[in-house]
Amino acid sequence: MLSRLTHAPVELVHTVTEAGIRDEHALFVGAPAETLWDMVSDITGAARWSPENTGARWLARSGPPVVGAWFLGFNRIGPVRWVTPCEVTVVEPLRHFEFRVHLIGTRWGYLLRPVEGGTVVTEYRLWAHDSTLLKMLRWSGPFGRPRDNLALDGLYRSVYRLKALAEAAQPGPGLSR
């Protein structure tokens, strides 16, 4: 646990752009994009792979997700629990799903790229430079960095959990007689 607080996973790609700071991790998954899309675009199932999320509930939504749909995300680290109002910001079926966490100003998303034998899934977090929480984390120095490292560790671990779940959902080879 201590290493999760003191260091971000080295496999993450960290990019600073004019728009903000982007952290991401990509991984090959032996499952079709349809399987992964069904998983990542249904926020009510995110607790199955996210280390922090314990559930989610759509607000006034029916049917597939659409840009502008809102949901509440329920989260936990140890004994600390909190709720985050989120808005879907990108819906490109089978390619890209993203939502914004309004209280802190981050965007979390998934990119899906079909390749031979499966899909490359990329989970990312994007902070706008003017995000209030990003400014607070920078200002707080050694107090904010452990929380940010824990979130980045969660991003890293969630991609691997998503992979395991998606691959386990695939039918095995047929039995021959």
Q: How far apart are CA 3 and CA 8, in angstroms?
A: 8
Return the number of other C-beta atoms located less than 10 Å from residue 175's C-beta: 5
Query: 176: pLDDT confidence band, cut at 50, 70 and 90?
Result: very low
Q: How far apart are CA 46 and CA 39, in angstroms?
A: 8
Query: Where do the domains of the chain lie?
Result: 8-168
Contact (CB, 8 A) for 33 and 49 = no
* Fold observed for domain 8-168: Alpha-D-Glucose-1,6-Bisphosphate; Chain A, domain 4 (3.30.530)
Query: 133: pLDDT confidence band, cut at 50, 70 and 90?
Result: low
In tens, the pLDDT along 29-74 reads 999 999 999 999 999 999 999 988 999 999 987 778 999 999 999 9
Q: How far apart are CA 64 and CA 20, in angstroms?
A: 29
In tens, the pLDDT along 105-123 reads 889 999 999 999 999 999 9
Query: 77: pLDDT confidence band, cut at 50, 70 and 90?
Result: confident
User: What's the pLDDT at 31?
Assistant: 97
Q: How far apart are CA 99 and CA 40, in angstroms?
A: 11
Which amino acid type is present at position 132?
T
Contact (CB, 8 A) for 53 and 60 = no
Residue 69: C-alpha distances to residues 28, 65, 99 (Å): 29, 7, 9
Residue 173 has pLDDT above 70, yes or no: no
